[in-house]
Amino acid sequence: MNAKFILILIALSCFSTLSAQHSESEKAIMKAVDDTNRKIDHAVVRKDIATLRQSYGDDFVFTHGSGHVDSKESWIKTIQNPDMRYVSREHDSTQVELHKDIAIIRGRLSIAREDKNGLSKYGVWYVRVYALRKKNWQLISHRSTSEWHE
């Protein structure tokens, strides 16, 4: 057999074993967290500040790929900037890890942004941390771990 084929079979076997270890309620929670994660970035595109204020914890910390750090308020101020708009923010390759009232998501975010310099497209690999607060999942930390530009 081809070595690549064997590796793929092993990876699929490990994935199915891992996913089988989660109960149906855990899978539902993981999906809800992933859905919230996507909803937040769609709210950024729409400049839906009410949704963002509810979705980010008051202690939210956003560490950009550049090393710049935003708080909840400074990040929302950036989103509100009339001279800049996010055209799209789309997730893929997300993985949710549950720890009682904490969820960690690793994933990739592809971004298109327009400003006075035109359209820029880039992406980040990230780690995000959510906390369950008053029956709602709130984003409390985003850390970009790597970045690429198109």
- Domain ranges in the chain are 3-149
Structure tokens at 18: 């891992």
65-100 pLDDT, tens digit each: 999 999 999 999 999 999 999 999 999 999 999 999
Give the global pTM.
0.84
Q: Does domain 3-149 have CATH number 3.10.450.50?
A: yes
Give 19-85 as a DSSP string: HHTS-HHHHHHHHHHHHHHHHHHHHHHHT-HHHHHHHEEEEEEEE-TTS-EEEHHHHHHHHH-TT-E
First to last CA, the chain: 38
Report whether 105 contacts 128 (CB < 8 A): yes
Q: pLDDT, tens digit, for every residue of 24-72?
A: 999 999 999 999 999 999 999 999 999 999 999 999 999 999 999 999 9
